[in-house]
């Protein structure tokens, strides 16, 4: 009895988990990445840094860009294809959030956000219990994993530390350059 339940749960997890999947799993789900987007993915990657890459897939009427960190999907953008209506409907946004729920639920990041998901200006942000974040507007949805958010925070902290170290070194150099009057 336990084995069929475990198999069902693992299949359900595979069916819904896109963040955290590797490139092979995404290719199984969406097909091979489209080469016509190679230049876009190289020049405008979803994430930057050591061990990152971006790939774009076309799936039915959708363009799906995936940012990988060390081969694992940590950011996903969902867009409608150019030859279809680019404005996302609420039920499409809900389907994306459901697919990315990992069996959990998304909650508005601020009170009242759930009333603004239609064609309101600006972006709406939702968070999942594990810290993942979904940001959506009229034409696309971006899902960021907690891993990516931590990676970005670490990169920013490292950049601030490097900047502070450069400023301190420049100040020390300036002090040593002062002549003995």
Is the CB of residue 146 less than 8 Å from the CB of residue 162? no
Is the CB of residue 39 less than 8 Å from the CB of residue 47? no
Residues 6+ apart with CB under 8 A from 41: 33, 53, 54, 55, 56, 65
Q: What is the dihedral of CA 144, 149, 155, 160, to 10 degrees?
A: 130
Per-residue pLDDT at 12: 35
Q: How confident is the prediction along the chain (181 residues), in pLDDT tens digits per residue?
A: 444 433 333 333 333 348 889 999 999 999 999 888 888 889 899 888 888 999 999 998 899 999 998 898 999 999 988 777 888 999 999 999 999 988 888 888 765 444 433 434 567 889 888 888 899 988 989 988 877 667 666 666 666 676 777 787 888 888 888 888 8
């Amino acid at each position: 009895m336990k084995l069929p339940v475990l198999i069902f749960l693992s299949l359900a997890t595979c069916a819904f988990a896109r963040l955290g999947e590797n490139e092979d799993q995404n290719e199984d789900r969406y097909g091979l990445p489209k080469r016509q987007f190679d230049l876009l993915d190289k020049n405008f990657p979803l994430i930057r840094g050591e061990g990152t890459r971006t790939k774009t897939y076309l799936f039915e009427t959708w363009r799906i860009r995936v940012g990988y960190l060390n081969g694992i999907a940590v950011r996903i953008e969902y867009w409608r294809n150019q030859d279809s209506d680019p404005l996302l409907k609420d039920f499409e946004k809900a389907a994306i959030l459901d697919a990315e729920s990992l069996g959990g639920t998304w909650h508005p990041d601020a009170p009242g956000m759930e009333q603004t998901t239609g064609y309101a200006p600006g972006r709406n942000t939702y968070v999942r219990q594990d810290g993942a974040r979904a940001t959506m507007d009229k034409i696309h949805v971006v899902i960021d994993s907690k891993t990516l958010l931590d990676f970005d925070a670490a990169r920013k902290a490292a950049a601030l530390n490097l900047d502070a170290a450069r400023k301190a070194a420049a100040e020390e150099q300036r002090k040593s350059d002062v002549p003995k009057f």
